[in-house]
């Protein structure tokens, strides 16, 4: 058995960022991933300014492509709204990168930082000491001894599940499909989102679509819908994606959608049991995805940094993370996630968008409301922001959190 200070399970953005941060904190690190190097991941590939900021904080700008975007253009119900990324803490640079490339680059950077990266090497179980701490991560290549374990195994979190991670499907979650389409407009510097999607017969469908230019001759085109167990979205996302591509084909001179894949997205911290004495879940494994836009790369990077800060500090102040980690997640994201989850739940009522859409996207709504909404959708309000939108968001967040005090939010079981 080879031993490490920290074993990271999963080499997505959260896992690779954790490995790099842990190496910089002076720890001996191993990363294991089920998939081979350069694996694909179903995603919109969008990098908000918040994600770009986190990459810069980690000095990982090398993982960023040259392509930059300036913000969001929202379309639907007879209106179109342009919402530039607001200047502020995170800066105004957004980007986008196909995940096979982005994640592959981050994993290579983890390897060149000195972490031992094992591909095609799933973590299949854990060994525990008498004190309940994980002592080793079991893999087909043997047991990796571990002082700390960071679990970054994504949305289904198979390793996290073995440790007791539970996803609450009664809370809002996303279902989404993505594809790649060739276009001559892949340098377009705006991310586009359509909130009015129709089928062949022109009937409005639940959900939204996106076109995220990648600057490489293609766009990532996808669509998604919000769902709860009580109100499951009755939509075939792959079929809807085909209709959506047909709707925007002429405007974007699109080729056929290729590499169509779909996935689920647990969101807004709706999971329990995210930490034990010497392990914690980060990124999608901890459902750190914005319920209003399905974005989670930024939170994956941030939670990786937070996790390493805690374990680097842990031998002194936090020898047991079971309660410390959920507390830290709640402190940082709790109010915003509960509020966003509550708003997203409203969107699961099929009547809501056709009623509110025209008001929001046209006239005064379009001019004043949507830029603020785009800032919220881009995860771009910080705790420090004190402008009107931020103050309203914070106040609503704390009231809704008080009203929904019993909602699942990273609770220890």
User: What is the distance between the alpha carbons of residues 118 and 134, in angstroms, rounded to a whole number?
Assistant: 19
Q: Which is nearer to ligand FAD, 27 or 177 (CB)?
A: 177
Does position 76 interact with ligand FAD (CB under 6 A)? The reply is no
> In which region does residue 26 sit, left (phi positive, over 0), alpha (psi from -120 to 50) or beta (all else)?
left
CA pair distance 119, 37, nearest whole angstrom? 6
Q: Interface with ligand FAD includes 32 (CB under 6 A)?
A: yes
Q: What angle do CA 96, 101, 106 make, to 5 degrees?
A: 95
Q: Which of residues 36-55 bind ligand FAD (CB under 6 A)?
A: 39, 41-46, 51
Q: Render 122-178 in DSSP notation, one character per residue.
A: ---EEEE-TTS-EEEEEETTEEEEEEEEEE--TTT-HHHHHTT-EE-TTS-EEEEEE
Touching ligand FAD, residues 116-175 (CB under 6 A): 122-123, 152-155, 158-159
Query: Site map for ligand FAD, 198-237, x if CB under 6 A?
Result: ------------------------x---------------
Number of residues that bind ligand FAD (CB under 6 A): 42
Query: Is residue 341 within 8 Å of residue 407, measured between CB atoms?
Result: yes
Q: Select the span of 29-37, 52-60, 364-372, 404-412 touching ligand FAD (CB under 6 A).
A: 29-37
Q: Kindly tell me which residue out of 176, 254, 338, 373 binds ligand FAD, with binding defined by CB under 6 A.
A: 176
Give the residue, chosen from 283, 334, 366, 397, that forms a contact with ligand FAD under the rule CB under 6 A. Answer: 283
CB of 356 to ligand FAD, least distance (A): 23
State the sign of the Cα–Cα–Cα–Cα dihedral 371, 377, 383, 384: negative
Q: Strand, coil or helix: what is 68?
A: coil
Distance separating alpha carbons of residues 397 and 283, to the nearest angstrom: 21
Segment near ligand FAD (CB under 6 A); pick from 199-207, 268-276, 281-289, 387-395: 281-289
Q: Give residues in contact with ligand FAD (CB under 6 A).
A: 9-15, 32-35, 39, 41-46, 51, 122-123, 152-155, 158-159, 176, 178, 222, 263, 265, 283-285, 289, 294-298, 300
């Amino acid at each position: 058995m080879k031993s490490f200070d920290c074993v990271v399970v999963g080499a997505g953005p959260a896992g690779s960022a954790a490995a790099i941060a842990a190496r910089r904190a002076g720890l001996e690190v191993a990363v294991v991933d089920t998939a081979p190097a350069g694996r694909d991941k179903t995603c919109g590939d969008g990098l908000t300014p918040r994600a770009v900021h986190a990459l810069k904080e980690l000095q990982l700008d090398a993982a960023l492509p040259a392509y930059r975007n300036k913000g969001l253009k929202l379309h639907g119900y007879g209106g179109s709204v342009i919402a530039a990324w607001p200047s502020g803490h995170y800066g105004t640079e957004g980007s986008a990168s196909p995940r096979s490339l982005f994640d592959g680059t981050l994993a290579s950077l983890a390897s060149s930082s000195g972490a031992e990266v094992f591909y095609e090497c799933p973590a299949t179980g854990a060994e525990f000491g008498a004190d309940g701490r994980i002592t080793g991560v079991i893999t087909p290549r043997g047991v990796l001894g571990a002082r700390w374990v960071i679990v970054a195994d994504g949305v289904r979190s198979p390793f996290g599940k073995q440790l007791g991670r539970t996803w609450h499907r009664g809370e809002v979650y996303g279902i989404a499909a993505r594809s790649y389409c060739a276009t001559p407009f892949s340098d377009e510097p705006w991310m586009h989102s359509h909130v009015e999607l129709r089928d062949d017969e022109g009937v409005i469908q639940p959900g939204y679509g996106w076109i995220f230019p990648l600057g490489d001759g293609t766009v990532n085109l996808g669509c998604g819908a919000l769902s709860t167990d009580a109100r499951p979205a009755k939509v075939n996302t792959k079929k809807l994606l085909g209709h959506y591509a047909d709707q925007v084909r002429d405007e974007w001179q699109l080729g056929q959608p290729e590499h169509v894949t779909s996935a689920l997205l647990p969101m807004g911290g709706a999971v329990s049991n995210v930490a034990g004495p010497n392990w914690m879940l980060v990124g999608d494994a901890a459902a750190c995805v914005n319920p209003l836009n399905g974005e989670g790369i930024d939170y994956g990077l941030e939670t990786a940094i937070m996790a390493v800060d805690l374990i680097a500090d842990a031998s002194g102040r936090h020898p047991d993370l079971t309660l410390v980690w959920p507390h830290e997640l709640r402190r940082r994201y709790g109010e915003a996630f509960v509020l966003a989850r509550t708003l997203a739940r409203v969107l699961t009522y099929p009547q809501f968008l056709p009623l509110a859409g025209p008001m929001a996207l046209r006239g005064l709504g379009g001019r004043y409301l949507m830029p603020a909404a785009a800032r919220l959708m881009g995860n771009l309000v910080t705790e420090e922001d004190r402008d009107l939108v931020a103050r309203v968001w914070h106040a609503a967040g704390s009231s809704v959190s008080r009203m929904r005090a019993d909602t699942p939010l990273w609770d220890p079981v």
